[in-house]
Amino acid sequence: MLPIVKGLLAGERRALARAISIIDNDESESREIIKQIFGKTGDARTVGFTGPGGAGKSSLVGKLIPECQALGYKVAILAVDPTSPVTGGAILGDRVRMQDNLDDEKVFMRSMASRGAVGGVSKSLRNAIRILDAAGYNLVLVESVGAGQLEIEISRVVDLTVVVFTPHTGDNVQAVKAGLTEIGDMYVVNKADLEGANTLYLTILDLIGDTERKPVVLKTSAKTKKGVRELAKNIDKLLKEKSINYKERGRKMLEDELRDMVLNAVEKKASIMLASSNKYSEFVDKLTKKEIDPYAAAEELAAGLFG
Amino acid sequence: MLPIVKGLLAGERRALARAISIIDNDESESREIIKQIFGKTGDARTVGFTGPGGAGKSSLVGKLIPECQALGYKVAILAVDPTSPVTGGAILGDRVRMQDNLDDEKVFMRSMASRGAVGGVSKSLRNAIRILDAAGYNLVLVESVGAGQLEIEISRVVDLTVVVFTPHTGDNVQAVKAGLTEIGDMYVVNKADLEGANTLYLTILDLIGDTERKPVVLKTSAKTKKGVRELAKNIDKLLKEKSINYKERGRKMLEDELRDMVLNAVEKKASIMLASSNKYSEFVDKLTKKEIDPYAAAEELAAGLFG
């Protein structure tokens, strides 16, 4: 067993942090770590928090921690930052409030980069959750910053998705109409002390009223802590209700993961073959001379390379 | 020749709109349309406008139209909307101001969905630009709503990228630091009549001062039209300067496109093979029983399927 795995199984925070970094950076040790801990996973439940930037997700998640601990969970937080695919650096540095909890030995918090292609996030996230799971955390709260594709991706990887709105962020109604209703198991109007909160609450109720799933809609205020305990209780309840289906859902998630990984491997291989193919630059030549169109070129090239 | 191609080459707006819809929805006719027009393309220049939501890109692009027309360009606008991958519906409906120009016979404006996976946008966009090019538009302004991955993707497809900020949107400095500096050929502080515009302008100058490319930084106000003509002139100038390298750049763009299309075709094929493979569900079974780890499962499955 790798020393780092021994460390994280023993609950050493430094080993845990390092292991997640290895996963997040897709370092070569990732594979061996996952191999060694995989058999010890499957117990952690995961909740994603998503919604427009400025909705106060960080603060809300911060306030949720003690409430979830009071319900008996050992809580870890993963914050997914949208990063520039160019520099890999995080655009948002607004995590400071949450970091207050870092000193608390009972909670573990990590920010992850969502670098590289869509799809990369799922892989990092799945494996980071496994590491936390193996280290004994049984509730992982995943926070993401609103960005369409990323939200959908995260919702595929977690057990429950909570969508957070506030009266102050624009386009709430449009967002609700346009798809966030389809990923949310629960809706929260945060900053409920602000003007317009009740109207937004009623609008959301109205908009999602027709959906089959009938998700829970709640009002919270991270500032006054109002509604935060109720949110924790609802999350707990829903996780327990849903757990009847965890076997099925777990299988579906593994199926997705395996598919992603195989397609990724195939693409990587194809990319290498392409780069070293003479045909490739021949076809680019033909394209620049307009002797062939892009569809025909791609088809002929793909057929030539991969039968 | 397809009637729709005949129509769009004759400048019929209805044919043009329909052809772009076909491309945007990836309908089966896409291929034949591109095949028939590909030889007639290569003249249009393209400028991408990107930056945080709320920076006033739509208004600015709207005001730029007459200025670019005055410089002799026949202008078309493509607005890329971030859509929910679930519903395919556009989240932002804030295009109304720009649509004022729709009645103007000299300009063509279309909103495109950025549906589906990252990568899908590039394909739609490249082919929509070709259609406009074939229809005689020689300047295509592409507007996108700020969302990391999408911006990078668009910047790969256009000749010039203009990054638009305003004093009123948050995280400007962070965004400049974190990657938008690497895609911009030109920076605009819009809403320059607002307080803080000058500070932002100086900050941007300062931040990008060290970069090798030394992009142009301008102040504009879509409201008062101040600086809009200067922006148009700078775009024109830069397009003409850059045109020395268009052959090389054009080749690079076709290379990227061909690579994307081949990898896409390979992935599609692999996905179909996987779905019909017995091994796939065998490995998922093994995973649920933890008899194998995900890395090993993916590797064995990929090897088994594709040698």
CB atoms within 10 A of CB A248: 9
pLDDT band at A242 (very low <50, low <70, confident <90, very high): confident
Structural domain contains residue B17: no
Identify the domain containing residue B278 by its residue range: 256-306
Q: Determine the distance in angstroms separating the CA of B53 from the nearest CA of chain A, rounded to an integer.
A: 10
pLDDT of residue B100: 45
Quick check: A38 and A126 in contact, CB under 8 A? no
**pLDDT for residue A81 is more than 90:** no
In chain A, which residue's Cα lies nearest the Cα of B290? A39
In chain B, which residue's Cα lies nearest the Cα of A268? B263
Residue A46, beta-bridge partner list: A140
Task: Report the C-alpha gap between A99 and B98 in whole angstroms.
Answer: 43
pTM here? 0.72
CB contact under 8 A, A257 and B294: yes
**pLDDT for residue B302 is more than 60:** yes
Average pLDDT score over residue span B46-52 = 87
pLDDT of residue B175: 59
Question: How many separate domains does chain B show?
Answer: 2
**pLDDT for residue B197 is more than 80:** yes
DSSP structure class, residue B178: I
User: A145 is written with which tokens?
Assistant: 């910053």
Instruction: Please write down the HEC assignment for all residues of chain A.
Output: CCHHHHHHHCCCHHHHHHHHHHHHCCCCCHHHHHHHHHHHCCCCEEEEEECCCCCCHHHHHHHHHHHHHHCCCCEEEEEEECECCCCCCECCCCCHHHHHHHHCCCCEEEEEECCCCCCHHHHHHHHHHHHHHHCCCCEEEEEECCCHHHHHHHHHHCCEEEEEECCCCCCHHHHHHHHHHHHCCEEEECCCCCCCHHHHHHHHHHHHCCCCCCCEEEECCCCCCCCHHHHHHHHHHHHHHHHHHHHHHHHHHHHHHHHHHHHHHHHHHHHHHHHCCHHHHHHHHHHHCCCCCHHHHHHHHHHHHHC
Residue A80, beta-bridge partner list: A112, A144
Complex confidence, ipTM: 0.78
A to B CB pairs, distance under 8 Å: 205
**pLDDT for residue A128 is more than 80:** yes
Alpha-carbon dihedral sign for residues B15, B20, B23, B25: negative
CB contact under 8 A, A31 and B86: no
pLDDT band at A241 (very low <50, low <70, confident <90, very high): confident
Instruction: Give the closest residue to B187 by CA, choosing from B234, B254, B140, B118.
Output: B234
pLDDT tens track for A284-307: 999 999 999 999 999 999 888 765
pLDDT of residue A87: 37
pLDDT of residue B129: 95
Shared domain check, B271 and B234: no
pLDDT band at B181 (very low <50, low <70, confident <90, very high): low
In percent, the amount of chain B with pLDDT more than 70 equals 79
Of B147, B263, B288, the CB nearest to A250: B288
Mutate to test the interface with B, among A266, A281, A287, A300 (most CBs of B within 10 A): A266
Of B35, B54, B255, the CB nearest to A293: B35
B12 Cβ partners below 8 Å, 6+ apart? none
Shared domain check, B157 and B266: no
pLDDT band at A104 (very low <50, low <70, confident <90, very high): low
Structural domain contains residue B27: no
Instruction: Give the closest residue to A35 by CA, choosing from B291, B304, B280, B300.
Output: B291
Shared domain check, A99 and A70: yes
Shared domain check, A262 and A242: no
Highest mean pLDDT of the ranges A81-90, B33-42, B164-173: B33-42
Q: Which residue has the tokens 């195989």?
A: A262
Domain-terminating residue out of B205, B220, B247: B247
Shared domain check, A288 and A174: no
Of A42, A84, A306, the CB nearest to B266: A306
In percent, the amount of chain B with pLDDT more than 90 equals 37
Mean pLDDT (chain A) is 82
Structural domain contains residue A20: no
Domain-terminating residue out of A231, A249, A267: A249
pLDDT of residue B90: 40
pLDDT tens track for A3-13: 999 999 998 98
Q: Determine the distance in angstroms separating the CA of A148 from the nearest CA of chain B, rounded to an integer.
A: 6
Structural domain contains residue B284: yes
Average pLDDT score over residue span B57-75 = 92
**pLDDT for residue A78 is more than 60:** yes
CB contact under 8 A, A261 and B295: yes
Structural domain contains residue B70: yes
pLDDT of residue A93: 38
Contacts of B258 in chain A (CB under 8 A): 280, 283-284, 287, 294, 297-298, 301
Quick check: A165 and A188 in contact, CB under 8 A? yes
Of A85, A250, A259, the CB nearest to B152: A85
Structural domain contains residue A15: no
pLDDT of residue A34: 94
**pLDDT for residue A274 is more than 70:** yes
Which has the higher per-residue pLDDT, A111 or B115?
A: A111
The span from the first CA to the last CA of chain B, in angstroms, equals 42
pLDDT of residue B183: 76
pLDDT of residue A88: 38
The sheet that has B108-113: what strands, in order across it?
B108-113, B75-81, B139-144, B45-50, B160-165, B186-189, B216-219
Q: Which of A55-59, A301-305, B147-151 has the lowest mean pLDDT?
A: B147-151
Shared domain check, B46 and B124: yes
CB atoms within 10 A of CB B189: 28
Task: Report the C-alpha gap between A184 and A164 in whole angstroms.
Answer: 9
CB contact under 8 A, B91 and A178: yes
**pLDDT for residue A84 is more than 50:** no
pLDDT tens track for B69-112: 999 999 999 988 655 443 333 433 334 334 444 446 678 888 77
Shared domain check, A292 and A152: no
Average pLDDT score over residue span B114-125 = 68
In chain A, which residue's Cα lies nearest the Cα of B287? A254
Task: Specify the CATH number for the domain of residue A201.
Answer: 3.40.50.300
Which has the higher per-residue pLDDT, A227 or B86?
A: A227
Task: Report the C-alpha gap between B124 and B130 in whole angstroms.
Answer: 10
Task: Map residue B227 onto helix, strand or coil.
Answer: coil
Q: What are phi and psi of B58, to 5 degrees?
A: -55, -50
Mutate to test the interface with B, among A84, A131, A154 (most CBs of B within 10 A): A84
pLDDT of residue B25: 83
Structural domain contains residue B31: no
Whether A108 and chain B come into contact, CB under 8 Å, resolves to: no
Mutate to test the interface with A, among B27, B84, B157 (most CBs of A within 10 A): B84
pLDDT band at B170 (very low <50, low <70, confident <90, very high): low
Structural domain contains residue A186: yes
**pLDDT for residue A170 is more than 60:** no
**pLDDT for residue B186 is more than 70:** yes
Shared domain check, A262 and A244: no
pLDDT tens track for A176-212: 555 556 678 898 999 888 888 888 888 888 877 666 6
pLDDT of residue B45: 93
pLDDT of residue B166: 83
**pLDDT for residue A98 is more than 60:** no
DSSP structure class, residue B83: B
Domain-terminating residue out of A233, A249, A265: A249
Shared domain check, A275 and A165: no
Task: Map residue B124 onto helix, strand or coil.
Answer: helix
Shared domain check, A298 and A242: no
**pLDDT for residue A89 is more than 50:** no
Average pLDDT score over residue span A258-283 = 88
pLDDT of residue B148: 58
In percent, the amount of chain A with pLDDT more than 90 equals 37
CB contact under 8 A, A148 and B152: no
Question: What is the CA A211 to chain-centroid distance, rounded?
Answer: 24
DSSP structure class, residue B220: -
Shared domain check, B55 and B178: yes
Shared domain check, A288 and A183: no
Which has the higher per-residue pLDDT, B230 or B201?
A: B230
The sheet that has A45-50: what strands, in order across it?
A108-113, A75-81, A139-144, A45-50, A160-165, A186-189, A216-219
Task: Report the C-alpha gap between B304 and A286 in whole angstroms.
Answer: 35
Q: With a CB-CB cutoff of 8 Å, which residues 218-277 of chain B face chain A? A: 247, 250-251, 254-255, 257-259, 261-267, 269-271, 274
CB contact under 8 A, B83 and A178: yes
Q: Determine the distance in angstroms separating the CA of A147 from the nearest CA of chain B, rounded to an integer.
A: 7
Q: Which residue has the tokens 């590797």?
A: B299
